[in-house]
Structure 1
Amino acid sequence: MSSSSTSPHPAVTVNSIKNLIPVILDIETGHYTTWSEMFKIQCKAHLVFNHLQPKSTTETASSSDTNKDKEKEKDTPIETWERLDSIVLQWIYSTISTDLLHTVLKPDTTAYKAWTTIANIFQDNKATCTIDLNNKFANTHQDQFPNMSAYCQALKVIFDQLTNPGSPVTDEQFVLHLYSGLTEQYENTASVIQQMKPLPDFYDTRSRLCMAESRKLSHVRHAAQSAGTALNATIEPQQKDNRDRADSQVEGLGRRFQIIERKFLLVHNYMLFGVYERESCVDTQVFDM
């Protein structure tokens, strides 16, 4: 018996579909285009893409007959159409939110019916959805985000969502709006890129804008370092003068305390012994204070 005859179906070997499709589809956040595209890729890769399409009666019958013949010929388990369809249905349920699961869950359904139900949910009210997304798209600007990468990613998400209702924004419109939402400091960069023929696509544009942002940040850091160096050069002499003045004041106070201490000793000796010495070593300021 050849090894190919005993090899399990590729879909059976998938341990966790979430590792292959890291997007959880939710009614509130959308992302249907991303989720559906990744789901179709995995179904094609694991040879079950036909389960996202209407089931052919002829195909099912011939498949059932073939499976029966194979079951008679060998003892190894055969992945029937129903089992594979249940696996795909399980993939669908595992990659959607709990709320969406409760909406589409039905007894004795098929992967194709669940797939179609989800598609209809996200493609209902196309006009309203398109208006809302277009408004969101038009009101997204760079100054709303911490960096250029976050700005580009936010617009890309909206752009992908706009393809769901069937009224997608063209790639050229997408890139032009990306430029129009930039702040004034990127006006020159945007003007240069817009003059390029043909107009760069989103990924090329994103790369150029992120590099421009990196250069600007580097210039800002360099300017800040230069300004700090100049400020230190100005402050250090002044700080030295302040330190010298403070040292002089401390030294003067020290001499004054020495004079006061000497005067105290002289007065003390006079009161005890009646001796009032006028020593030459004592500063005359002692008697004048």
Structure 2
Amino acid sequence: MPRPRLLPPPKLLPSALERNAALARAAATEKEAQTAALELDAAAARARDALARAVQERSAAGAPADGDDEDDLSDHASDHNDNTDLHQALLLQEAAAIANLLSQAVAVQNIRNLVTVVLDLNAGNFNRWRDQFLLIVGKYSLQHHVMQDLPAHGFPDWQRMDCVVKSWILCTISDDLAATISARNSTARDTWRAVESQIFNNRETRALLLDAKLCNFVQGDLSITDYCKELKHMVDTLGDLGEVVTERTLILNLIRGLNERFKTVDMHLRRGRPFPMFLDAKANLLLEELTMENTSSSQSTAERS
């Protein structure tokens, strides 16, 4: 019998290869970072032991002397030693706390459980992603890895934690964006700046076009929920591009684009003093929309009867 032919393995597209490579590098950095957990735990234990010894030494230094008469120089030297011991104890306590935080950061298995927003160039969610990400790195005292332009340190602990932060960035952005900005031997700060460059690329032109779209946007057949959601999305995207839209401008665009069904609420919002906030205006419009739907349903029921 003829031997069956083996089919060649399917070929991956270049984009798929880049994506798999980026995910593999992210997984490798996470695995490398986890190896630091034991070292960080040992460092925390040594710091706690040193803190305990410092407290004992400070207690011994504060014991009363046998003689009753001490000159001013001895008193000053004793006070200085006490202050130095206290300062060293506080530094050791802070070092132990930071070592504990770094150990917890390394132990994070899935960063998306903490940073729930996945950054996408087309989603207009940069501000939300940035706020959540900075909140998490600040929680673990790692914000300097993304916010400060410092030269890469040669210390193994610093490099491992930089790998952790870099892997967090790559794991909380879209696959296309990760494949675009991922680069070997780059730091977390380099990766963070690459993300910002993609977001702010040609932002003047993008802001100009989006501002024109906002000014000409009308409700049409959209519900109040969808209409307000689209308006807020455009405003947030403009904020990402550096063009902050004020609350008053947002309300003016909201009122201007309403269809004729909301003419009564339109006049009420225009005459409001002080000018209503966006959430208050949306709530009034939703109430009016619900009232109109109930009225229409009642009329239809009466006509069928």
**1:87-236 equivalent positions in 2, closer than 5 A:** 87-145=164-222, 147-229=223-305
Match of 1:53 in 2: 147
CA distance in 2, matches of 1:90, 1:46: 15
CA distance in 1, matches of 2:188, 2:221: 41
CA distance in 2, matches of 1:51, 1:117: 14
Match of 2:162 in 1: 85
Query: Which structure: larger Rg?
Result: 1
Q: Deviations over 1:96-129 (max 9, x none)?
A: 2222112111111111111111112211212210
Contact 1:92 1:115 in 2 (8 A): yes
2:220 maps to amino acid: D
RMSD of aligned Cα (Å): 2.6
1:82 maps to amino acid: Q
Higher RCO (CA 8 Å, separation ≥ 6 residues): 2
Q: Deviations over 1:201-247 (max 9, x none)?
A: 22222222112211211111122222222xxxxxxxxxxxxxxxxxx
CA distance in 2, matches of 1:106, 1:56: 18
Match of 1:27 in 2: 121
1:52 maps to amino acid: V
Say which SS state the counterpart of residue 220 (structure 2) adopts.
helix
**Fraction of identical pairs, as percent:** 26
**Aligned: 1:38 with 2:139:** no
Contact 2:111 2:171 in 1 (8 A): yes
CA distance in 2, matches of 1:13, 1:190: 54
Unaligned runs of at least 5 residues, structure 2 = 1-44, 50-95
Q: Deviations over 1:183-206 (max 9, x none)?
A: 111121022122222222222222
1:45 maps to amino acid: K
1:176 shift after superposition: 1.0
**1:6-17 equivalent positions in 2, closer than 5 A:** 7=100, 9=102, 10-17=104-111
Contact 1:34 1:160 in 2 (8 A): no
CA distance in 2, matches of 1:160, 1:214: 27
Q: Deviations over 1:238-281 (max 9, x none)?
A: xxxxxxxxxxxxxxxxxxxxxxxxxxxxxxxxxxxxxxxxxxxx
Q: 1:105 to 1:97 in 2, by over 3 A?
A: same
Contact 2:101 2:140 in 1 (8 A): no
1:18 shift after superposition: 1.7
1:23 shift after superposition: 2.7
Contact 2:220 2:259 in 1 (8 A): yes
Contact 2:124 2:237 in 1 (8 A): yes
2:142 maps to amino acid: V
Contact 2:239 2:245 in 1 (8 A): yes
CA distance in 1, matches of 2:256, 2:201: 31
Contact 1:21 1:95 in 2 (8 A): yes
Q: 1:7 to 1:161 in 2, by over 3 A?
A: same
Contact 1:11 1:47 in 2 (8 A): no
1:48 maps to amino acid: L
TM-score, normalising length from structure 2?
0.62
Q: Which moved more, 1:206-215 or 1:171-180?
A: 206-215
Match of 1:275 in 2: none
Q: Which moved more, 1:18-27 or 1:178-187?
A: 18-27
Q: Which moved more, 1:184-193 or 1:24-33?
A: 24-33
